[in-house]
Amino acid sequence: MTHDSAIFDLPLSWARTEISAPRLRTLRLPLSHLTWAPCADIPLDWSFQQVFEERLLALPGGFILQGCNESLARYVLTRGGQVAQVSVEALLALDAPVKPSLQELARRGRRWGRVTALKPDETNRAKMTALWEATVHGAKPRLQCAFRTDFDASVRGFALVGPEGDWLGAMTISLMKPDYWHTELLLRRQNAPVGVMEALILGVQARLRADGGSWLSLGTAPFITVEDPLNAERCHLPWKPACRGKFIARLGRLLRFGYDYRGLYRFKQKFAPAWRPLYLCGWPHLPWRILPDLSWTSRHLHLIGFAALQRVGYRS
């Protein structure tokens, strides 16, 4: 493999770390019997093709990857796999101008604290957990495996810290490539003043830019799709492989009471990102059984059930 053909992108929530060999975190899915690799630590010099050939193909029964960009999805297709577009990624160019309205929000947020880099020690891990519990979603079931939830050495952490040392918001980011960072956790205290998260994100952008970074991904907006460069076919029959992604996205939107994907999209949209498609990738195939598999394993079904019970209780 030549250097020019090597792909150094990774699925979202896979991270580049200073290790000598890949460490994949895998789960065997109960219905499809495929192996899901939601997270992985990858050496700085390993290409995706190398990981695919030397690690992924060795997984029993085939595998599932989430958060694959177009380059990764194209490669999986060339290796005989299947893909489905199920979400979009909000990608920020760190040298892009910031809208005046966003600058004003950030200015208001900076009145309440300053952006501080965090060490992944026990004290800060405890504070991160406490902040998570103090968010508007703190009492709900937590998604797992959809992104990195641990504050450890594989991520960088930042918080907007008030004068008394209280955290009003926090975020963690993982490294995909030397100039490309991906947001994992993004937490806001429920009673935090307006502008806190805007001030935090713009402050992190400035630090990454000073460190030589070029890109910051704000992560996904699930169940939102854009024009699919890998599939121009119009879809009327949802069971056809080419139509699978649109059906999954439509199903997710029907269950929106359990997950506010629209609010998430609107928040990220204010940063004027480039939206690019993200794919669910399967090898050697992408069976329908992975939908309940992933929904259960990620606890998305738990979140839907919690929201449904709240609705029933509210109406009664």
Question: What whole-number distance in Å separates Cα of residue 177 and Cα of residue 214?
Answer: 10
Contact in structure between 32 and 97 (CB atoms under 8 Å): no
pLDDT band at residue 143, thresholds of 50, 70 and 90?
low
Question: What whole-number distance in Å separates Cα of residue 298 and Cα of residue 292?
Answer: 10
Instruction: Please state the length of the chain.
Output: 316
Beta 114-118 vs 180-188: how paired, if at all? unpaired
What is the share, in percent, of the chain residues with pLDDT greater than 70?
80
pLDDT tens per residue across span 255-306: 554 456 678 889 999 999 999 999 999 999 988 888 888 777 775 555 555 4
Supply the pLDDT for residue 282. Answer: 95
Contact in structure between 257 and 300 (CB atoms under 8 Å): no
DSSP state string for 94-144: TTSPPPHHHHHHHHHHHTT-EEEEE--SHHHHHHHHHHHHTSTTTTSPPP-
Question: Does the domain formed by 92-218 have CATH 3.40.630.30?
Answer: yes
Question: What whole-number distance in Å separates Cα of residue 109 and Cα of residue 107?
Answer: 5
CB-based contacts of 47, cutoff 8 Å, min separation 6: 1, 6, 7, 8
User: What are the domain boundaries of the chain?
Assistant: 14-89+221-315, 92-218
Contact in structure between 22 and 154 (CB atoms under 8 Å): no
- pTM recorded for the entire structure: 0.85
pLDDT band at residue 191, thresholds of 50, 70 and 90?
very high
Supply the pLDDT for residue 306. Answer: 42
Could you tell me the end-to-end alpha-carbon distance of the chain, in angstroms, rounded to an integer? 63
pLDDT band at residue 224, thresholds of 50, 70 and 90?
confident
Look-up of token digits 């800060």: 124
pLDDT tens per residue across span 42-80: 999 999 999 999 999 999 899 999 999 999 999 999 999
pLDDT band at residue 106, thresholds of 50, 70 and 90?
very high
Question: What whole-number distance in Å separates Cα of residue 140 and Cα of residue 300?
Answer: 11
Beta 274-283 vs 215-222: how paired, if at all? unpaired
CB-based contacts of 53, cutoff 8 Å, min separation 6: none
Strand partners for 116 = 159
